[in-house]
Structures are given as structure tokens and as C-alpha cells.
């Protein structure tokens, strides 16, 4: 495990004082295993902004941030609002031969018909339902933690589900898809960005920031009280 | 600061680590006491699952290339393009850049993904020729780029909902889009099934001489 500094223990939220309620056996409480290579470490106290890496496979194990909980909630709420708005407004519009056509997310998701209807549902899930569900779960889990309340009911299964949904949340990939579609169409017709396109551009940035703020280890530790 | 000397794993110590919250429990614990995930020191069925998803993914990738991805109807012509056909068409019109992007996203990346996943699984099976760190790197690459292949399906959806200009021009998605989406989903599941701890197991000296003293004196402890 490598780390830069070792003072100022600053876990994501309040420091853990009461560990007697923790179901994790006391002698194992300080130990962590790298999820990627199974290397065993004693969890160091990592300062805010610092990171602890696995010395063997260089996976980031602990990366706490002061006030990360609050920032994550704020970002998650922003993304929720952005996705809702982006679903309603058109994101691309074309003009060709005197005709005008706009596309919103809902129209896009239901572009597939007949035998491809399953794909419509999948697209809807990937770009709207799963990202939103994941963020709602995250807000639900984090809100009691930042208010120093005991974890919400079913907080653990909720966070587990939120984590499992992570790879299937593809809103930012769809945003890049808009750009590719724009390039493909640019010599066929005149293409304009709708309001939702800008919302999506912001969304890509926020999703990246949100991922960099998440410290799984800290969140799980806070939930374990 | 990096750990020097041979690294000790949770398994060496008779423990099992949780891949979701990193908590360590005694070997034989069924569920992680912290996050409730199912605990397995190594996923015994990992390679079987990897190969099963890999095979279905490959089976879907073949029709994804044979069937048309987009059907374009204009005033004067009707045309259906496969993935490669569409890129060739673009290149013929001088759109080399876009053609290259499409070929990279829909042909090169999926093929590379199949090769890497197969390589990782074969490496665990037959004994690797590539150092662990390198294999871990490729595993992370596959995990990261896997979902981005879905961009093709989204582009098809966007184009077909946008280009609905009645007689002038219409674009409808072809059957290949479904197979391509399935192929991406199955390869993602294949990569997720891979237990990366298997990469680091082989080649680790497992003799009694390297056994460490019991917990509490863990070598990786740098907090001191």
C-alpha cells in the first residue's frame, strides 16, 4: 500500500468512534483485501485528497474526500434534474428540403419497432431508468450519513444495487453518441443542437466528477454502524 | 511507499476478502458482514462463466456483421448497410475520418475485446506468458471500454428517430442493431465474470516457507 501522507484522518464523513456495534470481527476490522488481487493490508488512515493504492496491482483502495458525501448528493441531484430535462427536450434537430425534424430521448428510445422493440426498452433502461435509479439509491444511502443519522433502512442492499448498476448506466455514452450522429448527418442535412444536447454535455462532465469522488471503502465503513 | 517483498494475500492467511467493500472475514464465511455480498475466496466458476458469456457474445457478433445495421431510403434509392459496408461507403465518399471511427468502434474494439478476454481466461488456465501487472492492465482496459461499444446502438437509434423526413429520406434500424447490442451486453457480462484475483494466483510461491506470521503482523501494514 502506498500513500502520501498519514496525518489528519479524514474519512468521508464523521470518524468512526463506536465500533462495538460493527458486525465485523474486531481483529479483522482494520484489515482490507484488494478486490483485484487479494493482497492483504492493514487499512491506513488516509488523509482527505490522498489515495491509498494496492502496492501490487495499483488499484485505488481508499480515496477519502472531505465533504464528499455532500458533494456527491449535490452532483447526483444535478444529474437527476439534467436527465429529466434532457428526456423532455429535443437534443438534435435537422432541416432538409424544407422539412424539420426533432428528436428527443423518448423518441430515440422508441426508434426500434417490431422485432427490435426489446432494444427500445433496453435503450430506455440504459440511458434513463438505470442512471436515475442508481442516483436515487445513492442519495437515499448518503443523506442519513452526512446528517450523522443512523443509516437508512435497507441502506446496504440499496448501495449494493447502486454499485451493481454502475456499469449499466450509460447516459454519458449516449451523450457521445449524439456527437457521432451529428458528424454522420452533417453532409446529409443541416443539423442543430437542441437544448437537451447542452444538458448532456454538462452531464458527461458531472458523471466523471461523481465517479472520482466516490470512495467505496469510506461509504461502506460509514454504513457499518 | 510500496510494499517490498512477496505480498501476502487474504487467502494465504486463511481469510476471504470482499470484492465490493474490501472487508476481510474468516475463510468459510458465506456473506460479508459489512455489505452482505456473497463471499468467495476465488470464484470457482469464474472461467466457466467467462467462456459461456464469451461464446454467446461471439455468436451474436457474427449476425451483427452480416445483417444490415441501417436501412436508408431516399427519393431515388433504398439502401441497407452492414457495419463494414457503411464504413466502406463513407470512405468511398471521402469521409475517411468518420469511416475510421466507425471501423474502430464497431469492428476493432469488439474484436480486441474478444481476444483480450480469451487471452486472460487462457492465461489462468494454461499458465501465463505475460506478467501479472500487464494482464491486470488489459483486464481493466476491457472492463472500461466494454460499455462504450454501445455507442453504435445509440447512434443508430438517434439517426432513425431523427431522419424521418417522409419521402425525402428515412432511416430505419436494421436487424444487426439487436445482435450488436446483445453482443456488447454478453461481452460485458463475460468481463465481469472474470475473477481478476486469478491473475495473481499462479506464480505465487505457495510453499510453507513463505507463510507469514498470523494476522496483526501483516506485511502490507504501512499505517505504522
Q: Tell me, yes or no, if B145 comes closer than 8 A to chain A by beta carbon.
A: no
A44/B23 Cβ within 8 A: no
Q: Tell me, yes or no, if A193 comes closer than 8 A to chain B by beta carbon.
A: no
Q: Tell me, yes or no, if A126 comes closer than 8 A to chain B by beta carbon.
A: yes
Q: Please name every residue paired with B85 in a beta bridge, in sequence order, or none if there are none.
A: none
DSSP string for residues in A37-94: T-BEEEPP-PBTT--EE-TTT--EEE---TTHHHHHHHHHHHHHHHHHHHHHSEEEEE
Q: What is the pLDDT of residue A16?
A: 39
Question: Closest residue of A to B38, CA-based?
Answer: A160
DSSP string for residues in chain B: ----SPPPBTTTTTEEE-TTT-BEEETT-SB-TTT-PBP-SS-TTHHHHHHHHHHHHHHHHHHHHHS-SEEEEESS-EEEE-HHHHHHHHHHTT-HHHHHHHHIIIIIHHHHHHHHHHHHHHHHHH--SS-HHHHHHHHHHHHHHGGGGGHHHHHHHHHHHH-EETTTEEEEE-THHHHHHHHHHHHHHHHHH--THHHHHTTS--SGGGPPPPTTS-TT----
Q: How far is B48 from chain A, CA to nearest CA, in Å?
A: 19
Residue from the list A22, A173, A217 with its beta carbon closest to the beta carbon of B147 = A173
Q: How far is B196 from chain A, CA to nearest CA, in Å?
A: 5
Alpha-carbon gap, residue A34 to A45, rounded angstroms? 16
A119/B188 Cβ within 8 A: no
* Average pLDDT of the residues in A153-162: 91
Higher pLDDT among residues B58 and A17, named by residue? B58
Q: What is the pLDDT of residues A105-116, one digit of tens each?
A: 888 888 888 778
Q: What is the pLDDT of residue A165?
A: 93
Q: What is the pLDDT of residue A5?
A: 41
Q: What is the pLDDT of residue A22?
A: 54
Alpha-carbon gap, residue B3 to B138, rounded angstroms? 23
Q: What is the pLDDT of residue A4?
A: 44
Q: What is the pLDDT of residue A13?
A: 36
* Average pLDDT of the residues in A176-183: 82
Higher pLDDT among residues A26 and B42, named by residue? B42
Q: Tell me, yes or no, if B100 comes closer than 8 A to chain A by beta carbon.
A: no
Residue from the list A6, A92, A123 with its beta carbon closest to the beta carbon of B223 = A6
Q: What is the pLDDT of residue A23?
A: 63
Q: pLDDT band at residue A177, thresholds of 50, 70 and 90?
A: confident
A31/B20 Cβ within 8 A: no
Q: Please, which residues 66-85 of chain B have a Cβ atom closer than 8 Å to chain A?
A: none
Q: Do the beta carbons of residue A70 and residue A59 sit within 8 Å?
A: no
Residues 6+ apart with CB under 8 A from A199: A82, A85, A86, A89, A91
Predicted model pTM: 0.83
User: CA dist B148 to A211, B37, B212, Å?
Assistant: 16, 27, 43
Q: What is the pLDDT of residue B76?
A: 80
How many CA atoms are closer than 13 Å to the CA of A196, on its beta-carbon side? 23
Question: Closest residue of A to B131, CA-based?
Answer: A57
pLDDT < 50 positions in chain B? 1-5, 204-224
Q: Do the beta carbons of residue B35 and residue B23 sit within 8 Å?
A: yes
Q: pLDDT band at residue A207, thresholds of 50, 70 and 90?
A: confident
Cα of first residue to Cα of last residue in chain A, in angstroms, is: 26
Q: Domain spans of chain A?
A: 1-65, 68-223
Q: What is the pLDDT of residue B202?
A: 62
Three-class DSSP category at A102: strand
Q: What is the dihedral of CA A62, A64, A69, A70, to 10 degrees?
A: -160
Amino acid at each position: 500500500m502506498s500513500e502520501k501522507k498519514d496525518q489528519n484522518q479524514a474519512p468521508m464523513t464523521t470518524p468512526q468512534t463506536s465500533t462495538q456495534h460493527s458486525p465485523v470481527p474486531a481483529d479483522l476490522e482494520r484489515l482490507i483485501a484488494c478486490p483485484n488481487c487479494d493482497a492483504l493490508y492493514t487499512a491506513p488512515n488516509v488523509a482527505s485528497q490522498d489515495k491509498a493504492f494496492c502496492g501490487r496491482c495499483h488499484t485505488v483502495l481508499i480515496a477519502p474526500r472531505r465533504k464528499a458525501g455532500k458533494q456527491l448528493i449535490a452532483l447526483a441531484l444535478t444529474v437527476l434534474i439534467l436527465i429529466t430535462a434532457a428526456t423532455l427536450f429535443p437534443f438534435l434537430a435537422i432541416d432538409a428540403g424544407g422539412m424539420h425534424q426533432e428528436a428527443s430521448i423518448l423518441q430515440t428510445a422508441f426508434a426500434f419497432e417490431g422485432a427490435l422493440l426489446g432494444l427500445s426498452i433496453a435503450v430506455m433502461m440504459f440511458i434513463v431508468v438505470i442512471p436515475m435509479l442508481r442516483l436515487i439509491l445513492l442519495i437515499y444511502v448518503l443523506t442519513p450519513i452526512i446528517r450523522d443519522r443512523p443509516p437508512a433502512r435497507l441502506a446496504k442492499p440499496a448501495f449494493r444495487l447502486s454499485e451493481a448498476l454502475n456499469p449499466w448506466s450509460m447516459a454519458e455514452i449516449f451523450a457521445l453518441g449524439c456527437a457521432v450522429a451529428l458528424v454522420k448527418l452533417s453532409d446529409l442535412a443541416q443539423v442543430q443542437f437542441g437544448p437537451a444536447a447542452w444538458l448532456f454535455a454538462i452531464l458527461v462532465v458531472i458523471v466523471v466528477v461523481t465517479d472520482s469522488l466516490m470512495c467505496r471503502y469510506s461509504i461502506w465503513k460509514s454504513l457499518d454502524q | 511507499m510500496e510494499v517490498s517483498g512477496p505480498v501476502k494475500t487474504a487467502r494465504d492467511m486463511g481469510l476471504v476478502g470482499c470484492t465490493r467493500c474490501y472487508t476481510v472475514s474468516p475463510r468459510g464465511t458465506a456473506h460479508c458482514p459489512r455489505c452482505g455480498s456473497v463471499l468467495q475466496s476465488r470464484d470457482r466458476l469464474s472461467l466457466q462463466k467467462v467462456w459461456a458469456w464469451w461464446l454467446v457474445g461471439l455468436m451474436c457478433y457474427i449476425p451483427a456483421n452480416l445483417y444490415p445495421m441501417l436501412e436508408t431510403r431516399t427519393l431515388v434509392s433504398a439502401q441497407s448497410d452492414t457495419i463494414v459496408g457503411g464504413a466502406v461507403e463513407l470512405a468511398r465518399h471521402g469521409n475517411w475520418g468518420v469511416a475510421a471511427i466507425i471501423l474502430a468502434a464497431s469492428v476493432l474494439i469488439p474484436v480486441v475485446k474478444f481476444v483480450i478476454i480469451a487471452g486472460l481466461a487462457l492465461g489462468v488456465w494454461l499458465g501465463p506468458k505475460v506478467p501479472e501487472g500487464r494482464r491486470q492492465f488489459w483486464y481493466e482496459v476491457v472492463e472500461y471500454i466494454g460499455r462504450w461499444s454501445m455507442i453504435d446502438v445509440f447512434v443508430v437509434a438517434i439517426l432513425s428517430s431523427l431522419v424521418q423526413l417522409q419521402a425525402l429520406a428515412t432511416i430505419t434500424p436494421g436487424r444487426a442493431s439487436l445482435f450488436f447490442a446483445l453482443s456488447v451486453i454478453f461481452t460485458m457480462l463475460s468481463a465481469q465474470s472474470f475473477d481478476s484475483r486469478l491473475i495473481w494466483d499462479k506464480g505465487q510461491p505457495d510453499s510453507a516457507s513463505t507463510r507469514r506470521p498470523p494476522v496483526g503482523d501483516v506485511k502490507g501494514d504501512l499505517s505504522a
